[in-house]
Amino acid sequence: MSTVNHCLYAISYTWKRSRSYLLLTLLIQVIVGFMPLASVWIIQTLINEIILFMTSSGDIQKVLWLFGLQMVIVVLGYGLQFILQLSQQKATNLIGLHLKGELLQKAIRLPFITFEHPSFYNESQRVMNSHQHVLSMVRSIFTIMSALITVVSLLIYMIGIHWGLAVILIVFTLPILWIELFFGGARYQLNRMLTANDRREMYVSDLVAQRDSLKEIRLYGIGNYLLQKWKDHYVKSADEKYKLLKRQVRWEMAGGLLMTFAYVCCGLFIVFLIFQKKLAAGTFVAVLQAVQNIQSGFQDLTRECSSLYETSLYVDEMRAFQKREEEIHEQTEEGASLRKIECIQSITLENLSFTYPNMKTPAIEHIHFHINKGERIALVGDNGSGKTTLIKCLTGLYDPDQSNMQKVNGESISTIHKKSYHARMAVLFQDFMKYEFTVKENIGFGRIDHMDEGERMISAARQAGIEKRIHQMEEMYDAQLGRFFEEGHELSGGQWQKLAMARTFFRESDFIILDEPTSALDPLSEISLIRKLFDHTQDQGVLFITHRMGAARLADRIIVMKDGAFVEEGNHDELMVLNGEYKRLYEAQSQLFQQKEMA
């Protein structure tokens, strides 16, 4: 897209979100654009009138009137700049709230496979603060317009001194220096105060925009909850910065009046010198000022044109991001035609294959799989055999290489609304999320619309074996977790994992899928947790990945994966008789335990 199109987009978006800012900026910049011409004309007329007055043919009232008009223009210039500064900050807050919210919402709605492209993270990093570029483009457009008015008007029109002046300027400039130093410190203190809040905002926005967290956010439907938390932190920071800016503007306005008073004193002093016939004045002074203004205007034009072009590149990338294709169920028209399911009775994979972007070899291929509600299946195999990839296909995070390879309740998953599918499924990944929020939120994210059901939450915590640790914290379920924020309680790896298990149990789904759910636990704790899981999920299907053969033996059926394919299937005794891959894994692990016992 051309720079012109991006300019029109920036103006259109700003008009939609902050019409008053756009109109106010337009008015101010037009006035500012004509002010140099008015100033030059007044100075020329003023000097000429002063000269006439010195020859006893001028009118002192006209001289004072012109001098007063010049003062009005100077004060008006300060006032307009301060008003524009406040207006710009308010527009930045408003547009940032809307535009960044839209970009984060877009990230939630993108296909999960998008986050497997390394280049996407570079793009995402650049576009997440694009609201600043949109408003910067609007400011550049109006600055160019104002500079053009100044240059053109002055081109059409084109066809200082005493040591006392320096003393006056120094005396009245020192307070301005103090004001700038004071508010520089105030801004630093405010940034320190808001650091924790800003880090929370960044943490939440990163949760929404990162692959590792997005899969659980997507499956558990907590995106809007996190967006609201982000919004609260954003608004708090924006409001505090705006309040400080208002104080700063008031003091700078007072400083501007002091500078105006210094200008008046200097002017009166010059008039005094003229009366003393120590200075000569005329149109020459006005012409010099016009030349300086034209040169300044040209500098503004070249600088802002360069900035406008650079900014348009960022806006172009942002608009391309906004047009990325979303998940079908996230698209209003397409999603409306999909059927919602109330219960998952079975999941079937028929000759399923999946290939990662930019890869020629499938990560998994020719997978035939069926699980009914109530079954317990263990998935084992070496690292890199494709187990986690299979889980992501099974949950609908990845779409297989061809359609109709996955069926739910006998129907193709392409005809089913994925949100309703996710709603009936609980998933715990190996790289599960450690939400640095409260215990209540960590568990409640499993079914966010039931987060306030205390008994249900206590039951989930007890089932996962984390209830005792929760009761050791004074705030219990309201305790802040992690070390990212103050007053946070850190948990061990196994405790975090149990907390994630409690989130899974809190969901109360038809199927539970666990990707090495007990890797941070010792073998005995793992066996105990798996047995407890089976005892509390009699009516639920369970598929779990494990590297420990002792846990796999508890399953009704064991599936062995190798190099992206199923190589063996059966219970423990059946697989040992085969004398194949499962037996190799089992004996290797048994030998390891025996060596540890001997040591």
Can you give the pLDDT at residue 328? Answer: 59
> For residues 547 and 387, is the Cβ–Cβ distance under 8 A?
no
* 393 occurs within a structural domain: no
State the average pLDDT over residues 306-329. Answer: 68
Do residues 303 and 173 share a domain? yes
**Predicted confidence (pLDDT) per residue in 209-224, tens digit:** 776 687 788 888 888 8
Q: Reply yes or no on whether the pLDDT at 109 is more than 80.
A: no
Between strands 425-428 and 511-515, the pairing is parallel
Which has the higher per-residue pLDDT, 67 or 503?
Answer: 503
Q: From 326, 349, 379, give the residue that closes a domain.
A: 326
> Which residue would you say has higher pLDDT here, 236 or 165?
236
pLDDT in tens, 409-431: 888 888 888 888 888 888 888 77
**H/E element, 408:** strand 406-408
pLDDT of residue 250: 83
Is 598 a residue whose pLDDT tops 50? no
Q: Is residue 238 within 8 Å of 463, Cβ to Cβ?
A: no
Residue 280: band (very low, low, confident or very high) from pLDDT cuts 50, 70, 90 = very low
Is 245 found in the same domain as 133?
A: yes
Range of lowest pLDDT (62-66, 73-77, 359-363): 62-66
pLDDT value of residue 285: 66
The reply to whether 418 falls in a domain is: no
Torsion sign, CA atoms 502, 503, 506, 508: negative
Token code pair at residue 435: 């939400």
Q: For the segment 22-46, what is each residue's pLDDT rounded down to a tens digit? A: 787 778 777 777 777 777 777 766 6
| Residue tagged 């394919």 (tokens) | 565
pLDDT cut 90: percent of the chain above it: 0
pTM as predicted: 0.64
Give me the number of domains the chain comprises.
Answer: 2
Output DSSP code: residue 405. Answer: S
CB 415 within 8 A of CB 385: no
Q: Which pLDDT score is estimated for 115?
A: 64
Q: What CATH number is given to the structural domain containing 475?
A: 3.40.50.300
68 vs 424, which has greater pLDDT? 424
The residue out of 294, 311, 326 marking a domain boundary is 326
- What range does the domain containing 116 cover? 3-159+163-326
What CATH number is attached to the domain comprising 252? Answer: 1.20.1560
Average model confidence (pLDDT) for the chain? 75
| pLDDT for residue 63 | 64
Please report the pLDDT score of residue 303 as a whole number: 65
- DSSP symbols for 413-458: GGGB-HHHHHHTEEEE-TT----SSBHHHHHHGGGGGGTT-HHHHH
pLDDT interval class at 283 (50, 70, 90): very low
Indicate if the alpha-carbon torsion angle 141, 143, 145, 147 is positive or negative: negative
48 and 193 inside one domain: yes
Q: Is residue 88 pLDDT above 50, yes or no?
A: yes
Does residue 311 sit within a domain?
Answer: yes
- What pLDDT, on the 0 to 100 scale, is given for residue 366? 86
pLDDT surpassing 50 at residue 279: no
Residue 585 half-sphere exposure toward CB, CA atoms < 13 A: 24
- Tell me whether strands 541-545 and 411-412 are parallel, antiparallel or unpaired: unpaired
Query: Are residues 155 and 296 part of one domain?
Result: yes
Quick check: is 543 in a domain?
A: no
The string of pLDDT tens digits covering residues 539-571 is 888 888 887 777 778 888 888 888 888 888 888
Residues 6+ apart with CB under 8 A from 466: 495, 498, 499, 501, 502
DSSP character string of 348-399: EEEEEEE--TT-SS-SEEEEEEEEETT-EEEEEE-TTSSHHHHHHHHTTSS-
Percent of the chain's residues with pLDDT above 70 = 70
Lowest mean pLDDT among 27-41, 77-91, 264-278: 264-278
Distance CA 102, CA 306 (A): 28
In this prediction, residue 82 carries a pLDDT of 76
- 356 found inside a domain: no
Tell me what the mean pLDDT of segment 183-189 comes to: 64
Q: Which residues pair with 481 in a beta bridge?
A: 489
- pLDDT higher than threshold 70 for residue 326: no
Task: Collect all residues with Cβ–Cβ distance below 8 Å to 463 and sequence separation of at least 6.
Answer: 501, 502, 505, 532, 533, 536
Note the pLDDT tens digit of each residue in 143-159: 888 877 877 776 676 65
Residues 433 and 322 both lie in one domain: no
Confidence of residue 270 (pLDDT cuts 50, 70, 90): low
Segment 434-488, tens digit of pLDDT: 888 898 998 888 888 888 888 888 988 888 888 888 898 888 888 888 877 777 7
55 is a domain residue? yes
C-alpha to C-alpha distances, 66 to 72, 155, 185, 284, 314, nearest whole angstrom: 10, 23, 41, 18, 47
| Residue that is last in its domain, among 506, 527, 562 | 506
7 and 145 in a common domain: yes
- C-alpha to C-alpha distance for 50 and 286, rounded to whole angstroms: 14
The DSSP symbol for 508 reads -
Give a yes or no: residue 297 inside a domain: yes
The pLDDT of residue 594 is above 70 = no
The reply to whether 379 falls in a domain is no
pLDDT for the residue numbered 564: 84
Q: What is the pLDDT of residues 489-537, one digit of tens each?
A: 888 878 888 888 888 888 888 888 888 766 666 677 777 777 777 877 7
pLDDT at 533: 76
Chain mean position to CA 404:
36
The pLDDT value recorded for residue 66 is 66
Describe the crossing of helices 283-322 and 19-54 by its angle, rounded to 10 degrees.
170
**CA 235, CA 592: separation in Å to the nearest integer?**
56
